[in-house]
Chain A
Amino acid sequence: MKDTKRRIELFSLYDHTNIEKHLEKMAAKGWLIEEIGKTFWRYKRIEQQKLKFSVVYYPKKVNEGILVSEDRQNFIDMCSAGGWDFVISSDKMHVFCSENENTPPIETDALIQIECIHKFAKHEIIGNYLSLALACILIIASFGYAVWNEPINAITNYLYRAWFSPFFIIFSLYNIISYLVWHKKAMIAAKQGEFSKTKRLIKIEVLFWVPIYACSALLESFTLLRARYVLFAIGLIATAVMLLYLFRFIKKAFANAKMKEETKRIIKDFTALFLFIVYVAVGISAFQIMPKPYEKIEVEKSYGTDVSYVYHDEGAPLNIEEFIQTDKRISKEKFCDNAILVEQEKWTQFTVEEKDIYLRYEITDIHYTPLYERCKNELITENKIYDFTETQIKGLAGYEAYQSSRLDSFAFCHDGRIVQIDFDWEPTDEQIATAAEKLMNADI
């Protein structure tokens, strides 16, 4: 029989009223708190019993030197003399229990209780959440700075890391304000000698956490991968939810069955293991079945290591064969950066064996007009590597055209789209015009 168990508990640590109630329920089910972590709490098995709990906040730190721990022990001794058995400490929070329902409370002065909670909360609630909010503000500020200077790089690479920052700021402020409002009311009540119950914030916390994790995962998939992987991720999440419901259903079905607790536990564990294996198998199978957008071209050893290139069978908007006659195998690598405001598709094409003919191009679509000029600056005007200057291409009209002073590279922009092409040879005006027309009108 399992003697310990861990649970995710989302209590605010100052929420002594609900923590006490929760611990009483757990004791009635035969579990006594053994360790309080940030999210996971560990319980040890005890006989099912009715225990009364008291959560108190002793503002001196516990783990700092012998004197302090002696001080804490002195505190525990006094509580013990008052009929309370020490259960556990977590930093400045201490949990006591009593078998006697009529044991006088540990705190008999409401004002002193509030003062102790406030000393604890100043660090644990206000301090921590303010730090979180400030960190998020810094993330947003640095993201804003990056968007201003290198909008494409910032949006395609860092958006998924920054987007949830406002939610964390709201979440932090919500916790701080909720605590301060409670503290103000509790102080008024305490001055009248009344004790105040704390309010549980868990449901709203869950409302914050679940979508943040889910959306982060999805947004990351969108940003880094392509749509088929997003569908794969959604499929996996949906399967996980279905299997969890199935597990709950089976667990409930056996909960009321007339059989030994040990047998029920074994069935529960085996069901969990079986469903987990099913989940992994479904995931692996789906990944195998999922059509791959490319085939790998294996190449002989190069400097002692195997090198493999890929051939994307998704139609490239422009192919090297349109300019050069060749029988050699060609590697066509595609890389996508799809963010909410900016989409980018990059292609690199070259002959596999000799790698002597290259064609590279990237198509960038900016869906948010105010960013267009900034993106143009990043890719063209302020691009020091290519050093583009405006030019005219014979037979090409309607687009702004730029030519690099150093390489056979050209850039074109018009109506929210920016295209950059690198040729590995000196192209004719006709070739440039053909490439520009195709890429400026390509679907990505």
Chain B
Amino acid sequence: MPRTKFQTLTEQMFYILMCLKNECCGTDIMEKIQQITDGRVAVGPGTLYNLLEQFVDEDIICETRVEGRRRSYILTEKGKNILETEYNRIRTQAEDYRRLFGEEEK
């Protein structure tokens, strides 16, 4: 997977990483995303599984615990930075939008 892939995150990647602020396992991530977004965003198990693997390979998240077949993960420092960069990018976009459309509304 090329490193540049995670320079910007898709909506699903963003929410998965957000859920991993605290230690969390795969199945919990799917539920959490449903709750956080009120069902607006759904991450399929196949997509989640592949993304978790890719995030681990890129040191964006790390495995913390294995209980039977249940694996838990948490964000690494690198993951936190990527998430924060993405948040800043989205916020900047939002501010730009507000500056333009907000002024027009006034």
Contacts and interface: CB of A to CB of B under 8 A. Distances in A.
Interface of A: 56, 58, 70, 73-75, 77-79, 81-82, 84, 104-109, 111-113, 115-116
Interface residues on B, range: 10 to 19
A78 B50 contact: no
Contact of B45 (A82, A113, A115, A116): A82
A78 B42 contact: no
Nearest to B1: A115
Given A74-B71, A75-B49, A82-B45, A109 B26 contact: no
**Chain B residues touching A, majority SS:** helix
Contacts, number: 62
**Chain A residues touching B, majority SS:** helix
Nearest to A106: B46
Contact of B69 (A70, A105, A111, A113): A70
B26 A78 contact: yes
Query: Which one of B49, B69, B71 has the highest number of Cβ atoms from chain A below 10 Å of its Cβ?
Result: B49
B45 A106 contact: yes
18 contacts: A70-B69, A74-B71, A75-B45, A77-B69, A78-B27, A78-B30, A78-B45, A78-B48, A79-B45, A81-B26, A81-B27, A82-B44, A105-B44, A106-B45, A107-B44, A108-B43, A108-B46, A116-B50
A74 B69 contact: yes
A79 B69 contact: no
Given A81-B45, A82-B44, 11 more contacts: A74-B49, A78-B30, A79-B45, A79-B46, A81-B26, A107-B44, A107-B46, A108-B12, A109-B10, A113-B47, A115-B50
A73 B69 contact: yes
Interface in B15-49: 26-27, 30, 42-49
A104 B44 contact: yes
B12 A82 contact: no
A104 B10 CA distance: 18
Contacts of A79: 45-46
A195 to B, nearest CB: 11
Contacts of B45: 75, 78-79, 81-82, 84, 106
